[in-house]
Amino acid sequence: MQDLVQDALDNAEAEKRDMDVDMDDDEFGDPRIVIVGAGGAGNNTVNRLYNIGVDGADTVAINTDKQHLKMIEADTKILVGKSLTQGLGAGGDPKMGERATEMAQGTIKEVLGDADLVFVTAGMGGGTGTGAAPVVSKIAKEQGAIVVGMVSTPFNVERARTVKAEEGLEDLRNEADSIIVLDNNRLLDYVPNLPIGKAFSVMDQIIAETVKGISETITQPSLINLDYADMSTIMNQGGVAVMLVGETQDKNKTQEVVNDAMNHPLLDVDYRGASGGLVHITGGPDLTLKEAEGIANNITERLEASANVIWGARIQDEYKGKVRVMAIMTGVQSAQVLGPSTQKQADKSRAAVNGDDLGDSRSRAAEANGTAGNAAVSGGTDQGAWESDGGSDPTEQNNGLDVIR
């Protein structure tokens, strides 16, 4: 038996070396992932993601505020609503943000292209992010992508913004497949004594690390693999999703990492009725199969027996002696945001009956794009290209849309 185990270990090392070589081979292709940040908070997240790097994902920043957008680094930057706002922002009016983004939909369609998975990140309660996020989600969904909203909600004291945020969340819920909501009020539990600027930076980092974690989970090979199909299965169940993140160096990794995750949920909801769960574990070479399975089991034991749970694990040398778990529970019922509407479920059922699969939606999207005027996108990331007009659609030309890639 010992010889059998040793042979298996030797073969595993050889397979790992072969896998590292094959990583440079693009023969099979990867799912295309696009991360869109809408408004100030969304732009800040995209800027952070661009700088830390996300393997296999493109970043897009959309804003009505020209000065803020100039400071952001992203693969593509789109200034919308220039004729409406003169590049000065939406003034906290979500309707203005919505209208400005709708005027640029031709360019947004082109930039999103044939994306398979689109993250839309924004801060709810402001003007541009609240208004633009549902529009971007709708465009991405119509083009056949799985759409995941990743948004933050305002502090309770921000009463007017809270009302706008609730309305924006409802609009976003109706357009995205799933939305992950992070509550700024939870920062009071996490970092109550940090200066306010640094506290918000923590939220930006949390969102950025989550998007990066999800993206690289499906673009990088793992010991127990999670792929795009797994992500689609879980996220397609719709509604609100809650994210849990935990990390520990404790000897009792199996329980302590789960305790860390359970004690710090960023949306204060009971996820026991969740319809799906995606769990990804990252550990060092010392992580055992028993530990990984134990972590996945402990973090999902609150779910119903019928819940669809998919888990994966990745080994990274820098995690030697510690372990990190990221879990997303979908289909959660929340007092802040309702779950998937009956109408949305009915639409999905009808689509399934009519054979309206992903391929059909892509075909229709391609046909629609073929007849609509597509926006021209200027090349280069230098700031000198900033004032070039984008878009062959008359509305976009009149809007004075600026695009930098």
Which of 35-49, 96-110, 247-261 comes out lowest in average pLDDT? 247-261
Name the DSSP letter for residue 61.
E
- Residue span(s) of the chain under CATH 3.30.1330.20 come to 222-336
User: 91 in helix, strand or coil?
Assistant: coil
Determine how many CB atoms are found less than 10 A away from the CB of residue 107. Answer: 26
Ligand-binding site membership of 260 (annotated): no
Known binding residue 100? Answer is: no
Asked whether residue 186 is marked as a ligand-binding residue, the answer is no
Mean pLDDT of 213-234: 81
Kindly state the tokens that stand for 280: 């990804």
- 331 annotated ligand binder: no
In CATH, which superfamily holds the domain spanning 222-336? Tubulin/FtsZ, C-terminal domain (3.30.1330.20)
Dihedral angle at the C-alpha atoms of 15, 16, 18, 21, nearest 10 degrees?
170
Structure tokens at 382: 């230098």
128 is in an annotated binding site: yes
Tell me the range of 71-85, 171-185, 218-232, 258-272 where mean pLDDT is highest. Answer: 71-85
Q: Binding site annotation covers 75?
A: no
pLDDT digits (tens, 9 = 90+) for 327-375: 888 888 766 554 334 334 434 433 444 454 444 444 434 443 433 333 3
pLDDT in tens, 183-214: 888 877 777 888 877 877 787 888 888 888 78
User: Do residues 137 and 176 make contact, with C-beta atoms less than 8 angstroms apart?
Assistant: yes
Q: Is 247 annotated as a binding residue?
A: no
Place of tokens 């930076």: 201
> What is the distance between the alpha carbons of residues 44 and 364, in angstroms, rounded to a whole number?
34
Q: What is the pTM of this model?
A: 0.77
CA 365/CA 356 separation, integer angstroms: 13
Determine if residue 405 is labeled as part of a ligand binding site: no
pLDDT for 344: 46
Annotated binding-site residue? 161? yes
Q: Average pLDDT over the chain, rounded to whole?
A: 78
168 is in an annotated binding site: no
Only one residue has tokens 């839309």, namely: 120
| SS3 of the chain: helix, strand, coil, percent, to 5 | 50, 20, 30
Residues with Cβ within 8 Å of 140's Cβ and at least 6 positions away in sequence, in order, are 34, 36, 112, 115, 118, 120, 147
Is 113 annotated as ligand-binding?
no
Sign of CA dihedral 352, 358, 361, 363: negative
Rounded CA separation 148/175 (Å) = 10
Domain with CATH 3.40.50.1440 in the chain: 31-220+373-405
Residue 10 is predicted with a pLDDT of 54
Q: What fold is seen in the domain 31-220+373-405?
A: Rossmann fold (3.40.50)
